[in-house]
Each structure stands twice: as C-alpha cells, then as structure tokens.
Structure 1
Amino acid sequence: MKPWALLAVAELKLTLRSPLVAATAVLAPLAMGLFLLGNRELGGAGIVSMQLLALLGFTLYAGGTTTLAARRQQLVLKRLRTSPASDRTIVAGLMLPLALLVVIQAAILIATTIVVTDTWPHTWWPLVLAVAGGTVLVMGLAFITAAFTGTPELAQVTTLPVFLALFAGGLWAGSTPPDEVTWLMVLVPGGAVAQLVQLGWDGAGLSVSTVLPPLVAMVVTGAAAAYLAGRVFRWQPRS
C-alpha cells in the first residue's frame, strides 16, 4: 500500500475516534443537510447547494482545520515531516479521509433530496465540478486557518469567519438569476459552488458564458488558497 494510503487509513481511524472531529465532520453536516430538506422554498438546486456548502464547511474545512491543529499539537506533523514521506504525501494522507467523507455524504444528501423534492438534476457535470472545486478551495482554506489555530478547540472560533462567508456567498449567488451573477459573487467563497449547482440542477441558462465565471473563479481562488497555505502553514507548534 502506498504511503499516503497508509496515512489516510490511520487518519480515518483517528478521526472517527475523536468525538470533536467526528461530530464536526460527520454528524453536524448530515443533520444540517437533512434539516434543509424542510425548506421547500429553496427548491432542489437551493437545497443541494446549501447542503454541499454545509459539507464543505463542516466536514472538510472545520474538520480539516481541527485535525491539522490537533496533529501539530501532538507533534505528529513534525514526526511525519522528518520521515521519508514528502509534504504532498502527508497532505494527501491527512485530508483524503475528509474529502472522501464529503463525497459519500454528498451522494447521500443529493439522493435524499431527489426523493423528497421529486426533482432531478438537468446535467450532472456542473455538480461534480462544484464538489471538486469546492474541495480544493476549502482544503487550502483549512491549511491557512490552521496556521493561526493553536489548539483543536480554538478551531471553533478561527473557522467561523470563512464558514459564514461560505454560506453568505452561496446565498448571494444562489438567489441571483444565472445571467445576472457577477464575478464578485462567484469569487466570494461558496458563490461558485452555488452557481454551478444552480446551473446543473435547473439547466436554465446553461452555456459556456454562464459556466465560465464560476469555473475560472474556482481555479483562481483554489490556486491562491493553495499558494498561501504553502506560505503560512506551520508544521510544528510555536516554541
């Protein structure tokens, strides 16, 4: 088995054994996703976009920040970095379990939404891009936030601004007609995810001109987050 896979299996076991991370990454997003099903005014696209943002915000962003802060405090990151494993291998091993949880939870919630609302996505590939692009973005944001998070418990505070921005951006772009969505809306975290879900679910206004802004925004913000994460992230506690 590859080193990153071994690390990912070990990290998944640690994640499920931690009450704080398990509640943040597993229970909270599923509970919120099911709660959103009661708001039929959002429509299928609105419900799914908010569900995906809940998964990205709780499972991957907050859960990832908590995990990174905990492993650094336990000196796990320091020991891993002195091993033959590269930084990319370590990052993949630490974040892959949470990313897989997002995919599994997304499949469950989307299937449930289809059954409950009796609606169906017009086109699937924008939803896939929303999950993939959103995953890359919030992973970078998790590493950035973890740089300023001294303890796992502190993550409940440090993640709050970005968490709120995810939902604010999603609501802003999701409540705007596709042809009226601006670049600013999709550059705000969560905006591009909501826009892609809206386009894929309803199929209204689905064209190159409408898909290009959220795709470009995801690439730009994801690349910027990854670059900044590499610059500011700390692998060991401050002395």
Structure 2
Amino acid sequence: MTWLILVRAELLLLLRSPLAVVNAVLSPLLFGVGWLWLAESTGRGAGGDAAAIQLLLLLGFAPFAGATTALAARRSDLVLKRLRTCALPGAAVVAGLMAPFALLAVVQSAVLFGLTAAAGDAPPARWWPLVVAVAAGVPLAGALAFATAAGTPAPELAQLTTVPGFLALFGGGMWLLDAAGPTWPMRLAPGVPVAELARAAWSPAAPVWPALTAVAVLTAAAVGFADLVFRWEPRR
C-alpha cells in the first residue's frame, strides 16, 4: 500500500459518512461564519480576534475531534492493526491517517480567513502569521487527537473524550481575547499560542517567536505522550 492510496481511502471514508461531513466539513464553516457575523454586528472581536477563534474552531472540529473519532473507528474495525503491519513505516501511516483532516483545515481556513479579511475595515497587515498559525495548529491538533484516541475505546464515545481537548483549544482562545496579553503560563493552554499567531497577522508589531516556541513545546509533548499511550488494536 502506498501513502497516497491510504490518503485517498481515508478521504473517501470521511466524505461518505454524513455525520463526519456535518461535523468536520460543515460545522467549522458555519460556526466560523457565525462568529464573524457576531463580531461584526457587535463591533467587538473582528479582524485578528475573529480569525483566531475561527482557526481554533476548525482545528477543534476536524483535525482534533474528527480525527479522534476516525482513529477510534479504525481501531475498532482492526484497520489500524492491519496498517501497522503493512509495508509503510509508522510515521507514513500516521501522516496518511491525518492528511484528509489537515487538508480540510487548510481549505476551511483559507475560506474563513478570506471572508474575515473582506468583511473587516482593514485587511491583515501581514499574511504569513496566518499561514504559520495553520501550519503549527494542525500538527498540534493531530497530536492531541492521537493522545485522546488512546482513551477512546469506541467511536461513539469520542463526543465525550474530546471535550477536554476542545475546551483547551477553544477555551484557550477565549481566554486570550479576555486577557490583557498572553503570558507564558497562559501559553500552556493549546489554544492560546495558536490564537496568538493568528492575531499577529493584524498586529505587525506583535512578536511571533513566543507563540511559535509554545506551540513547538506543546506539540512535542503531545506527540511524546501519544506515542506512549496510543494503541493500534482494541484492548482485549
């Protein structure tokens, strides 16, 4: 099995599931547009704040919750066990499983960021922090998905087991919006440094290295933890 075949198979499985399409494809876009409308109508939280929350929403829905559900389902069906014994190395299998959700996040972020930039009074002063925020947020959300899937014995339970991670992402962003400024303890919440990167696109003087450092540390910690606890086959 080649890596592209695995990616194609996972993408088809995702798109053929009505529930997955609603949760991973439509919900992030609807909630993102709704948040933008709320920010514009209230005059609070537009621009960088809206983009930050939009990014955390789509990361929470697709690369995190969607991937957690998919991993639990593939493990229950013994698909992960078979993939583990195929010719592909483990890293390639992980990348193939996450690729459809990463692709969704990239497309959704492009749509939502474009709408936010068009609806605001001023476009982003610099676009590259948005690209960096997506590039950094997707691996972090994916690592959290693998770590959460380790404690998700069945896909039906993912709606419960993903609540803490979703709150850490979305709640961290809301915490940042209500705070005077990010601090290093705040950046321990996964949503804070990702939101900080997205907001930096509208704040040309804002430094990005603290957020990048925090995302790198959190991702490394999540990957290490997931590697320790993730199971490729159901518990007997």
Contact 1:173 1:186 in 2 (8 A): no
Contact 1:174 1:195 in 2 (8 A): no
Partner of 2:31: helix, strand, or coil?
helix
Distance between the aligned counterparts of 2:90 and 2:118, measured in 1?
Answer: 42
Aligned to 2:167: 164
Whether 2:228 is the aligned partner of 1:225: answer: no
Distance between the aligned counterparts of 1:181 and 1:110, measured in 2?
Answer: 22
Aligned to 1:93: 96
Q: Which amino acid aligns with 2:199?
A: Q
Whether 2:184 is the aligned partner of 1:183: answer: yes
Aligned to 1:215: 212
Partner of 2:156: helix, strand, or coil?
coil
Contact 2:58 2:105 in 1 (8 A): yes
Deviations 1:82-135 (A, max 9, x none): 111111111111100110110000001111112222431111121111111111
| Deviating 4+ runs (over 4 angstroms) | none
Aligned to 1:234: 231
Which runs of structure 2 are paired with 1:113-152 in the superposition (5 Å)? 113-152=116-155
Contact 1:143 1:233 in 2 (8 A): yes
Partner of 1:121: helix, strand, or coil?
coil
Aligned to 2:200: 199
Q: Which amino acid aligns with 1:12?
A: L
Superposed CA RMSD: 1.3
Distance between the aligned counterparts of 2:158 and 2:48, measured in 1?
Answer: 30
Cα offset, 1:140, TM superposition: 0.6
Cα offset, 1:5, TM superposition: 1.3
Residue of 97, 106, 110 corresponding to 2:109: 106
Aligned to 1:28: 27
Deviations 1:41-82 (A, max 9, x none): 111111110100011000110000001001001110011111
Whether 2:4 is the aligned partner of 1:5: answer: yes
Q: Which amino acid aligns with 1:8?
A: V
Q: Which amino acid aligns with 1:26?
A: V
Cα offset, 1:174, TM superposition: 3.2
Partner of 1:43: helix, strand, or coil?
coil
Q: Which amino acid aligns with 2:183?
A: T
Distance between the aligned counterparts of 2:79 and 2:121, measured in 1?
Answer: 47
Partner of 1:37: helix, strand, or coil?
helix
Count of residues in Structure 1 that have an aligned counterpart in Structure 2: 232
Q: TM-score, normalised by structure 1?
A: 0.93
Contact 2:56 2:170 in 1 (8 A): yes
Cα offset, 1:164, TM superposition: 1.1
Task: Give ranges in structure 2 of 5+ residues lacking alignment.
Answer: none
Q: Which amino acid aligns with 1:235?
A: W
Distance between the aligned counterparts of 1:120 and 1:54, measured in 2?
Answer: 21
Q: Which amino acid aligns with 1:37?
A: L
Distance between the aligned counterparts of 2:107 and 2:119, measured in 1?
Answer: 19
Cα offset, 1:19, TM superposition: 2.0
Cα offset, 1:168, TM superposition: 1.5
